[in-house]
Amino acid sequence: MTDPAAPREKPAKVQQFHATNGRVSGYIGLGCAAVILAFALAAHDPGMPLGIAILAVLGALLVWAIVLRPAVWTTERHLVMRNMFHTDIIPLRSIERVVVAQVLAVFADGRRFVSAAIGYSTRQSVKNRTGTRSGRAAPPTALDTYQVFVEERLNHLAQEDRERYADGETAPRRTFAWPEMGGVVVLVLAFVVWLVR
């Protein structure tokens, strides 16, 4: 018999959806920030190199938060959308509609939740719009377009959850990425202090 007062285990990922937001540029950004930081630290100077070092760390943290942190996955009963500075945990049964455009938009419990992890690039959006208007191209399907697969899969999982379980929680929850938020605040303050000293 489980103890109701015991902390809940973190639900395991059932399906991870890979990001379409250009992770390679994020890794390149982190590499550039690391090189700049190494040169700044090698100078052993509290003047200009220290300010550059602070900016390099801030840049790396922002690249992580904006490009690499966003992710989307499902657990057995929830959709998890991790964004820059917060994570939305949405019960599958509460999902009303899923739309992928330049970002992933999930409508649940009368609210709209977005994630930049999955979406069409500007080039893909223009190509799809032009092809549909001219009638020369068939609309994209889940077999040939990953974004359509994500849209259909999430709608299917939501419907399946409603059919399989008689009840369950319907209110989405939001948690905040306090380490990232705190890091940005500390680094901005450190740069301001360096600037005015």
Per-residue pLDDT in tens (0 to 9) along the chain, 197 residues: 444 444 455 667 789 999 987 789 999 999 999 999 999 999 888 889 899 999 999 999 999 999 999 999 999 999 999 999 999 999 999 999 999 988 999 999 899 999 999 988 767 666 666 655 556 666 667 667 888 899 999 999 999 999 988 777 778 999 999 999 999 999 999 999 999 87
Task: Tell me whether residue 87 is in a domain.
Answer: yes
93-97, long-range: CB within 8 Å, 24+ apart, which pairs?
A: 93/158, 93/161, 93/162, 93/165, 93/168, 93/170, 94/158, 94/169, 94/170, 94/171, 94/172, 95/154, 95/155, 95/157, 95/158, 97/155
Phi, psi angles (nearest 5°) of residue 19: -75, 150
Residue 197 is predicted with a pLDDT of 79
Question: Are 34 and 21 part of one and the same domain?
Answer: yes
Residue 4 is predicted with a pLDDT of 46
**Which residue segment(s) compose the domain that 117 sits in?**
71-176
The DSSP H or E segment spanning 162 is helix 146-164
Question: Are 96 and 148 part of one and the same domain?
Answer: yes
What's the whole-model pTM score?
A: 0.81
Residue 46 is predicted with a pLDDT of 81
Question: Are 31 and 96 part of one and the same domain?
Answer: no
Q: How many domains does the chain have?
A: 2
Task: Tell me whether residue 4 is in a domain.
Answer: no
Question: Are 65 and 75 part of one and the same domain?
Answer: no
Does residue 188 sit in helix, strand or coil?
helix
Question: Are 196 and 133 part of one and the same domain?
Answer: no
Question: Are 137 and 172 part of one and the same domain?
Answer: yes
Residue 142 is predicted with a pLDDT of 64
Task: Tell me whether residue 5 is in a domain.
Answer: no
Task: Tell me whether residue 57 is in a domain.
Answer: yes
